[in-house]
Amino acid sequence: MLGLYDEKVYQKSIKIADNLLENYPNHAETRAFRALSMSGMGKMKEAVKEIKMVLMKNMMNYTCWHIMGIIHRKEKEYDQARRAYLFALKCDANNEQTIRELIQLQIHLRDYVGFEETSRKLLLLKPGVMQHWI
């Protein structure tokens, strides 16, 4: 589903998610990716409703919080996206992709204190990567 989302083949991605949900109706990640694909199609209200429903059932799911942040960022609700990314990092503190996305968002929002903390966290996580030092 993620590959189809990246290729912008949203209908097929939703179809695969629906097929999986027939067998496993409470699978949180599948519902989250379905919401992400719906947001790609422009159905933002439905996507937000779906992801919130998933998060009500499973508040500590890192993937769902990350997708919630992506959806809010698409809607240009940057403060909500930042909160979702921060909560995703509470669930999985060492996820490099989420840390990078949060850093970009903090720079965009001019949250330099948060940017400094998050950058330091990324540097301590992988000190051997030269890009993190720059």
In this prediction, residue 48 carries a pLDDT of 92
In this prediction, residue 84 carries a pLDDT of 95
Summary mean pLDDT of the chain? 91
CATH architecture of 2-133: Alpha Horseshoe (1.25)
* 33 close to 20: Cβ distance less than 8 angstroms: no
| Residue 97 CB-half CA count within 13 A | 8
Please identify every stretch of the chain with a pLDDT value under 70, giving residue numbers as ranges.
Answer: none
Work out the angle between the directed axes of helices 96-108 and 112-125 (0-180°, nearest 10): 160
Which residue ranges make up each domain of the chain?
Answer: 2-133
Phi-psi region of 58 (alpha: psi -120 to 50; beta: other; left: phi over 0): beta
In this prediction, residue 32 carries a pLDDT of 93
In this prediction, residue 118 carries a pLDDT of 93
In this prediction, residue 129 carries a pLDDT of 81
The CA angle 45-20-92, to the nearest 5 degrees, is 70
In this prediction, residue 1 carries a pLDDT of 84
In this prediction, residue 101 carries a pLDDT of 94
In this prediction, residue 89 carries a pLDDT of 93
In this prediction, residue 22 carries a pLDDT of 92
